[in-house]
């Protein structure tokens, strides 16, 4: 098999080779190429030291020079080029205390997490695959490089990554890795919330949702979050949900109720995501009436997009109510299309108009505006005649 490299990637490899250094693409881009999936990123590994890489290429910056990584800029695109390395001892289940560089590509591959990610490829030398990663790709198995417990002791996040890859690729996690997760699960507490959040989100948004069951069967889930739902039921709901992140998160966290925002904050989600997902979770159990006035009350406090997302989520959790929810969606779109007023901003009068009409400033104006808005939401035609009425 031959992998067709993007011109810029081939240029980097050729340039390193021209200066008498080995260079390969490595990791996920090799795995995806073997699976006939176009890689999103192209990582390069080389025998060249970081200082050599910076001398060879005119435009670089230090991404992680301590760990041998330099980003090479070509045509405004950055490519990570990392020196072959050997990881030192891991003391915190997260990162090696130190790294040392090597000139042996096989030593570099031996430090990686899974066999499917421990494959290198060069147009000149072909594949370097000391752990039969290509065989595991063909067998659709996620297997650790070497001893599974040792790999998870080095970086506890690899346990969640194994399950995430299962969800994304539809591969089976090797029995030895599953047993190692059961044995080492508690150590994931040493991993930052941000790293756990990213892996968990990718898993929840993955196409092979059955992998979520591994969180429960391995005992890893309680170490990640306090989940109160029925996982089988949640998986069924997620299967009918688009893979948009906030929608999938709302389904997953729907059973945490009042604790949703707290869980999202603990996982270090950004404030926008917390507000949006918490809103869906809060309103998910509420029955929305097929009534234009009632619909406007929702639209006053959320965007049309959020409202339609809420209706979609309700139709997933209550499929028998789908026709009625679709009718509500049509009504909301009709309200938008006709430009009917449901916010103070769209009211044809404002506080200044009311003050000119003799209403005392302060609370009285606010209360009057709310009264007028309520009337206009019930009867849109009133908005055109408010100036004559005050």
* Residue that finishes a domain, picked among 295, 310, 333: 333
Give the CB-side neighbour count of residue 388, counting CA atoms within 13 A: 5
- β 141-142/172-173 pair status: parallel
Neighbour count for residue 142 (Cβ, 10 Å)? 25
State the average pLDDT over residues 70-77: 93
More confidently predicted of 246 and 63? 246
Final residue belonging to a domain, choices 224, 250, 274 = 224
Do 9 and 57 sit in the same domain of this protein? yes
For 297-323, what is each residue's pLDDT tens digit? Answer: 999 999 999 999 999 999 999 999 999
Give the SS3 label for residue 353.
Answer: helix
Q: Among 45-54, 97-106, 345-354, whose mean pLDDT is lowest?
A: 97-106
Mean pLDDT of all residues in the chain?
Answer: 93
Rounded Cα distance, 67 and 92, in Å: 17
pLDDT of residue 93: 56
pLDDT at position 84: 95
Same domain, 166 and 183: yes
pLDDT in tens, 329-353: 999 999 999 999 999 999 999 989 8
pTM for the predicted model, two decimal places = 0.89
pLDDT higher than threshold 60 for residue 91: no
pLDDT bracket for residue 366 (50, 70, 90): very high
pLDDT-wise least confident of 33-42, 65-74, 249-258, 276-285 = 249-258
Indicate whether 60 and 12 sit together in one domain.
yes
> What is the tens place of the pLDDT at every residue in 209-236?
999 999 999 999 999 988 888 899 999 9
- Is residue 40 domain-shared with residue 110, that is, in the same domain? yes
Q: Is 258 a residue whose pLDDT tops 80?
A: no
What is the Cα Rg of the chain in Å?
A: 28
- Any idea what the CATH number is for the domain that residue 92 is in? 3.30.460.10
In this predicted structure, the answer to whether residue 92 has a pLDDT above a threshold of 60 is no
Assess contact for 122 and 22: CB atoms under 8 A: yes
Residue identified by tokens 């918490």 is 278
Across 169-185, average pLDDT: 97
pLDDT at 4: 92
Q: Are 174 and 145 in contact (CB under 8 A)?
A: no
One-letter-per-residue 3-state SS of 51-106: HHHHHHCCCEEEEEHHHCEEEEEECCEEEEEEECEEECCECCCCCECCEEECCCHH
Distance between CA 240 and CA 255 in Å, rounded? 17
| Higher-scoring residue by pLDDT: 355, 92 | 355
- The three-class DSSP label of residue 208 is coil
Residue 99 above 70 pLDDT? yes
**Do 311 and 348 have their domain in common?**
no
Q: Indicate if the pLDDT at residue 37 is higher than 90.
A: yes
Domain holding 191, by residue range, is: 140-224
């Amino acid at each position: 098999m031959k992998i067709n490299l993007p011109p810029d990637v081939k240029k980097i490899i050729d340039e390193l080779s021209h200066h008498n250094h080995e260079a390969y693409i490595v990791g996920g881009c090799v795995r995806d190429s073997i699976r006939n999936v176009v890689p999103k990123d192209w990582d390069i590994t080389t025998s060249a030291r970081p200082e050599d890489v910076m001398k060879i290429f005119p435009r670089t910056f230090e991404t992680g020079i301590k760990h041998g990584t330099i980003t090479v800029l070509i045509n405004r695109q950055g490519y990570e080029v990392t020196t072959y390395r050997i990881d030192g001892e891991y003391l915190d289940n997260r990162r090696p205390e130190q790294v040392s560089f090597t000139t042996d590509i096989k030593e570099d591959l031996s430090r990686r997490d899974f066999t499917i990610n421990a494959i290198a490829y060069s147009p000149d030398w072909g594949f370097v695959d000391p752990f039969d990663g290509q065989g595991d790709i063909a067998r659709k198995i996620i297997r650790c490089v070497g001893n599974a417990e040792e790999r998870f002791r080095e970086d506890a996040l690899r346990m969640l990554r194994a399950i995430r890859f299962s969800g994304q690729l539809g591969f089976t996690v090797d029995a030895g890795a599953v047993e190692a997760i059961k044995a080492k699960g508690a150590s994931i507490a040493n991993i930052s919330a941000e790293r756990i959040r990213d892996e968990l989100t990718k898993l929840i948004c993955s196409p092979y949702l059955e992998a979520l069951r591994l969180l429960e069967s391995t005992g890893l889930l309680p170490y990640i979050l306090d989940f109160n739902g029925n996982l089988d039921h949640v998986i069924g709901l997620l299967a009918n949900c688009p893979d948009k992140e906030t929608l999938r998160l709302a389904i997953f966290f729907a059973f945490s109720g009042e604790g949703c925002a707290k869980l999202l904050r603990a996982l270090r989600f950004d404030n926008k995501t917390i507000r949006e997902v918490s809103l869906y979770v809060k309103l998910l159990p509420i029955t929305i009436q097929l009534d234009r006035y009632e619909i406007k009350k929702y639209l006053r406090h959320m965007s049309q997009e959020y409202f339609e997302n809420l209706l979609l989520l309700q139709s997933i959790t209550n499929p028998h109510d789908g026709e009625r929810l679709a009718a509500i969606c049509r009504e909301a779109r009709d309200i938008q299309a006709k430009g009917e007023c449901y916010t103070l901003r769209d009211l044809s009068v404002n506080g200044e108009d009311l003050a000119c009409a003799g209403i005392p400033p302060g609370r009285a104006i606010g209360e009057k505006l709310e009264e007028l808005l309520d009337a206009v939401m019930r009867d849109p035609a009133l908005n055109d005649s408010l100036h004559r009425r005050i």
